[in-house]
Structure 1
Amino acid sequence: MVEKAEFTSKLYHPKYWLMWLGALLMRLTLFLPLRWQMKLGSALGRLTMRFAGSRTTTAKTNIRLCFPELSAQQQQTLLQQNFEETGKAIFDTVNAWWWSDEKIQQHMTIKGEEHVSQTLENGQGVILFAVHCLPLEMGARIFGQFNPGIGVYRPHNNPVMEYLQVKGRLRSNKGLVPKRDLRKMVKSLRNPDVIWYTADQDFGPNTAVFIPFFGVEQAATITGATTLAKLGKAKVLPFFVERNDQDTGYNIEILPALDNFPGENELEDAIRGNQIIEELINRNRKQYMWLHRRFKTRPKDNPESLY
């Protein structure tokens, strides 16, 4: 488990100077009011949409596949809103990593923390079943104000980014566990403790089942929540975060623990998990990470790419 951001002399190398400059410029935006940050982020998002090329195509395709009931104009509107929200998410991350606890508390609301406390008091670990909402970094920081947990993350290939993300995320977590380290996740849950878990992205064919996700009948979906809950003897609690409509603060909600989860059939658990994911995304569609190639893995009997 990673419990400290390690700064080494190699991070002084000139090849990283441009990245350090970028980090400094981002930190300078902390002096801007939140609404100004969001206006700047929205503009950056619109600019990115024009030049992102394949990423714009991916997001547009995802929205079309997931919401075929929307008209072409409605899909285009959602696409533009999503890019604006993606630009804002840059500052959500900056704020989550570098705001003081006092400033975090001035811009947050929490609902449902009693469900976490009750589960831990019963001697069971908590799996926060989250989706990749764009303000997710802020969601973790807010959650850490009352109950720091264990973050599950993907180590970054760039050592400067790895240092920054570890240092930033440890402001809201006791430690970080690489996403493939199942043993440490289980150990944390049996402690008991809280870990974050997401099942809304495409992780390839090896551990996937193909089940419905919005308008796509065969979406590759991992079944790890069932395994983790069984081995960790833990409860699964859906988790949601959003930035409010006025761009003045952030809201998180933790829902009650799922009944009869895990069940006897991991396929049925995965179907239920996708239904919960859909419900969470539908709370604020424009603030979801549509840039990910969610449907890149196709079943063998229908291998044609959706992109």
Structure 2
Amino acid sequence: MIIAFEPSDTILSVCSASRFWWKPFLAPRFWPTWLLFGFLWLVTRAPFCWQMAIGSSLGRLAYHGASGRRHIAEVNIGLCFPELPGHQKSELVKAHFRALGRGVVETALCWWGRDSQLRQRMILTGQHHLRRALEAGKGVILLSAHFTTLELGGRLLALDTPFHVLYRKHKNPLFETVMQRARQRRFETAIPHEDTRALLNSLKQGMPVWYAPDQNHGGPQSIFVPFFGIQASTLTTTARLAKISGAPVVPFFQTYLSDLERYLLVLCPALDHFPGRDLETDTLRINRLLENVVREMPEQYLWVHRRFKTRPQGDPYPY
């Protein structure tokens, strides 16, 4: 098999804005990250069926090797799906790790995949909902959640619609540099998650902003509302941002359809009468919406995150 090397697709070109950006990352402590990047770049040049098979295999290895994360996933799935028999819970955990492994490859495709190849993998529906919401001139909050397909879903949507994206910095500086440069190439603007002013400025410019508020951050911007029937510390930021900016909230979700080897991207109608008068009711509404989507593709939700680590006073720590 002959691999065509295109300059625009190489690892180094992801950070081409600075010619010698890589020099600070030649120390031996970064070598494993370089090896990982090299491996993943090569995987993105393989046939798609191989990519998914390699990703699933990585997930199987992680299932056996990452016992701590497996325990978190088992606890989360046990709490959220108490009605499932034990063997079905176990199968769901295994399926989730396979999806996690594919997510690693999908992230590499987000960074280094060719547009022409990715377009063949995309089924996009509901664009008219986003266009209609943008007509108000207030921007749009693209409400999403942490699914294993999150990174690639954003890249695929960017092939059709320009938007800005919030991100959280990575602890590994080499990983952060490559990821940030890739996002700057693929999205119009990448905004640090704590930079509320930049987010509001993007909305004022009439831009959609991609936002996923479903992780447990605790702190004064969170309240306890049910998620799968369990009191979960949940960010109230979606309703707050919508109220301050006047931007409509358009839910956006993506899922991998294994039988079709395609990614279904769904833009939903903007939330009616949102935000309301009650912040708690608005936040619960978001959680119920996300819960319904998770139930449709439970293996692709990020169960290895400690979603219930912050507890109401007196509740035991579940992990």
TM tier, smaller: over 0.9
> Which stretch of structure 1 is more off in the superposition, 11-20 or 178-187?
11-20
Query: TM-score normalized by structure 1?
Result: 0.94
Give aligned pairs, total: 303
- Correspondence 1:151-300 to 2 at 5 A: 151-216=165-230, 218-246=231-259, 248-300=261-313
Q: For the structure 1 residues 5 and 273, does the alpha-carbon distance in structure 2 shift closer, same or farther, using more than 3 Å as the test?
A: farther
Deviation at 1:5, TM superposition (A): 6.2
In the alignment, is residue 303 of structure 1 matched against residue 315 of structure 2?
yes
> After TM superposition, what 4+ stretches of structure 1 lie above 4 angstroms from structure 2?
3-6
Deviation at 1:144, TM superposition (A): 0.4
Determine helix, strand or coil for the equivalent of 2:188: strand
Q: For the structure 1 residues 241 and 206, does the alpha-carbon distance in structure 2 shift closer, same or farther, using more than 3 Å as the test?
A: same
Deviation at 1:4, TM superposition (A): 9.0
2:171, 2:93 → 1: CA distance? 29
1:4, 1:146 → 2: CA distance? 24
2:159, 2:58 → 1: CA distance? 30
**2:156 corresponds to:** 142
Any conservation in 2 of the 1:156–1:162 contact (CA below 8 Å)?
yes
Query: TM-score normalized by structure 2?
Result: 0.91
2:155, 2:235 → 1: CA distance? 26
Any conservation in 2 of the 1:38–1:247 contact (CA below 8 Å)?
no
1:288, 1:87 → 2: CA distance? 13
1:225-267 CA deviation, whole Å, 9 max, x = no partner? 0111112210101111011122622110010000000111110
Aligned Cα RMSD in Å?
Answer: 1.6
Deviation at 1:17, TM superposition (A): 2.8
**Paired AA for residue 289 in structure 2:** I
Determine helix, strand or coil for the equivalent of 1:221: strand
Q: Is there any run of 5+ residues in structure 1 with no aligned partner, and where? A: none
**Paired AA for residue 46 in structure 1:** R
In the alignment, is residue 36 of structure 1 matched against residue 50 of structure 2?
yes
2:171, 2:75 → 1: CA distance? 28
What fraction of aligned residue pairs are identical, expressed as a percent? 37
- Correspondence 1:98-137 to 2 at 5 A: 98-137=112-151
In the alignment, is residue 13 of structure 1 matched against residue 27 of structure 2?
yes
Q: Is there any run of 5+ residues in structure 2 with no aligned partner, and where? A: 1-14
Deviation at 1:205, TM superposition (A): 3.6
Deviation at 1:159, TM superposition (A): 1.9
> Which stretch of structure 1 is more off in the superposition, 104-113 or 155-164?
155-164
2:253, 2:145 → 1: CA distance? 7
1:181-206 CA deviation, whole Å, 9 max, x = no partner? 11111111111111111121100243
1:103, 1:125 → 2: CA distance? 30
